[in-house]
Structure 1
């Protein structure tokens, strides 16, 4: 989806800047159509590449956020219960660490 949107935006921007460049400096030896199409296609390729990468990054982060939001919420405990649970986990980690060193 990002590549398609980037392609559309790139073609539009390429048309605007290419037309402006042709009006300002002339078409050159290749002609108007060739110069304009080269500008439009290079702009479309650049925009579609970067927007495609951005959509992949965004999709990955949204998926991670969704997984995080759907994780079960632990029961609310008192401060003392939380402290006991924390100590029990520390002890378990210490036991696992000493067992792996042997």
Structure 2
């Protein structure tokens, strides 16, 4: 995911800075398209490399149990199976019955 995000950001930044450089200094002997694509691809490769490393570092460890429970509670119901949803509803009903 980090690599895809980095590639998108890199292509955009490469387009902006490449266009500015071409407008300011000319496209050079290879032409407009080749020069602009070189800016965009080099920027995309650099950004995707660093964002991929960052996403691996951030997702390297297993979540502690309390964080995993919080993550499961915040998932949208469409992602859970019917059995998980039914078990969750039954558990909530049981806790409400005990409270009253």
User: 2:64 aligns to what?
Assistant: 67
Q: Aligned runs of 1:78-89 on 2, under 5 Å?
A: none
Structure 1 length normalisation: TM-score?
0.62
Structure 2 alignment gaps of length 5 or more: 68-100
Q: Distance in 2 between matches of 1:4 and 1:48?
A: 7
Which protein is richer in helix relative to its size? 1
> Secondary structure at the residue paired with 1:60?
coil
1:14 shift after superposition: 0.1
- What do you get for the CA RMSD once the two structures are aligned? 1.4
Structure 1 alignment gaps of length 5 or more: 71-102
The 4+ residue runs of structure 1 with deviation greater than 4 A are none
- The structure with the larger Rg is 1
Q: Distance in 2 between matches of 1:68 and 1:53?
A: 25
Q: Distance in 2 between matches of 1:68 and 1:45?
A: 36
